């Protein structure tokens, strides 16, 4: 029996997640996002591609309090997936991937981390293969889905807060997303170019820990050099400033770069701007 192979290049759920992430990165970079145009062009209402995406997303957002309910739900989704026109779906998926390749460097596009990658990969295998291909792996994939959608009753209440948004048409959700992006730009318009670059680099390399760590080390060196060139007349402030700069080294020595370190870099850049005003 063969192994159920996963292809992130053909996984509709992953492709959509990466397009949404790309929109955020493009927007933060002050660029018009081609990813948004790709979504509008290829995920139109009624297409086989959109139907499959809806099935992926339904498996991600629904939750149940018993395994029986979860199992019945997954079986229904799999039956609905069988009803899609495979030839049309393959052609639409091919055109989607083609548009992505024409708009972005494919290696850069796929470098973003997808938080629910394991669940999306399992869904892909259930959609693309039959249980006879590999019974054990088929069961493992189903179990992965079960673990993600079975939850306690009290947790189901939290899910209701997003229900109104998730049930809206795609156009409405995209409009809501644009509103959030505009609000973000308005709220953080005061960020310096250095701070924006820190955020941009973090987003673009969130799953490339080594590259992100090298960037942070380099950024810490630049900040320490910049602080060293600032002369403050107040001796007390100067002492406190030196102590603060020394603390910066802990960021560079961190083995894993998280949001905490990134936030610290943003604050150090803000502090640098304030200190420069004291000259």
- 67 SS3 class: helix
Question: How many angstroms separate the CA atoms of 57 and 15, rounded?
Answer: 12
* Residue 109 CB burial class (10 angstroms; 0-12, 13-18, ≥19): middle
Element (H or E) spanning 195, and its range? Answer: helix 193-204
* Residue 54 CB burial class (10 angstroms; 0-12, 13-18, ≥19): middle
Query: What is the per-residue pLDDT for 133?
Result: 87
Residue 233 or residue 119, greater confidence: 119
Question: How many angstroms separate the CA atoms of 50 and 42, rounded?
Answer: 8
- Taking only the tens place, the pLDDT of each residue in 186-207 is 555 567 788 888 877 776 776 5
Confidence of residue 97 (pLDDT cuts 50, 70, 90): very high
Task: Look at the chain and count its residues.
Answer: 279
Q: What percent of the chain has pLDDT over 70?
A: 81
**For tokens 């370190």, what's the residue?**
261
Q: Is the pLDDT of residue 177 over 70?
A: no
DSSP string over 35-88 = HHHHHHHHS-TT-HHHHHHHHHHHHHH--BSSHHHHHHHHHHHHHHHHTS-HHH
Q: Is the pLDDT of residue 153 over 60?
A: no
50 half-sphere exposure, CB direction, 13 A CA radius: 13
Query: What is the per-residue pLDDT for 131?
Result: 85
């Amino acid at each position: 029996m063969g192994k159920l192979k996963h292809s992130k290049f053909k996984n509709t759920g992953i492709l959509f997640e990466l397009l949404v992430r790309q929109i955020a990165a493009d927007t933060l970079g002050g660029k018009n996002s081609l990813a948004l145009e790709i979504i509008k062009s290829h995920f139109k209402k009624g297409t086989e591609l959109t139907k499959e995406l809806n099935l992926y997303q339904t498996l991600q957002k629904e939750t149940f309090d018993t395994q029986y309910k979860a199992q019945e739900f997954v079986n229904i989704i799999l039956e609905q997936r069988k009803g899609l026109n495979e030839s049309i779906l393959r052609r639409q998926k091919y055109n989607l991937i083609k548009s992505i390749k024409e708009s972005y460097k494919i290696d850069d596009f796929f470098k973003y981390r997808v938080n629910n990658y394991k669940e999306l990969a399992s869904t892909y295998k259930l959609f693309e293969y039959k249980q006879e291909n590999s019974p054990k792996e088929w069961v493992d994939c189903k179990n992965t889905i079960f673990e993600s959608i079975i939850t306690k009753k009290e947790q189901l209440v939290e899910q209701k807060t997003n229900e109104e948004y998730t049930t809206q048409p795609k156009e409405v959700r995209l409009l809501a997303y644009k509103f959030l992006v505009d609000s973000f730009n308005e709220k953080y318009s005061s960020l310096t170019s250095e701070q924006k670059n820190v955020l941009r680099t973090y987003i673009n390399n969130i799953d490339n820990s080594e590259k992100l760590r090298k960037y942070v080390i380099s950024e810490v060196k630049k900040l320490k050099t910049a602080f060293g060139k600032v002369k403050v007349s107040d001796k007390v402030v100067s002492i406190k400033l030196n102590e603060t700069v020394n603390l910066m080294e802990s960021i560079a020595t961190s083995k894993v770069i998280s949001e905490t370190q990134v936030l610290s870099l943003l604050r150090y850049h803000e502090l640098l701007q304030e200190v420069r005003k004291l000259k």
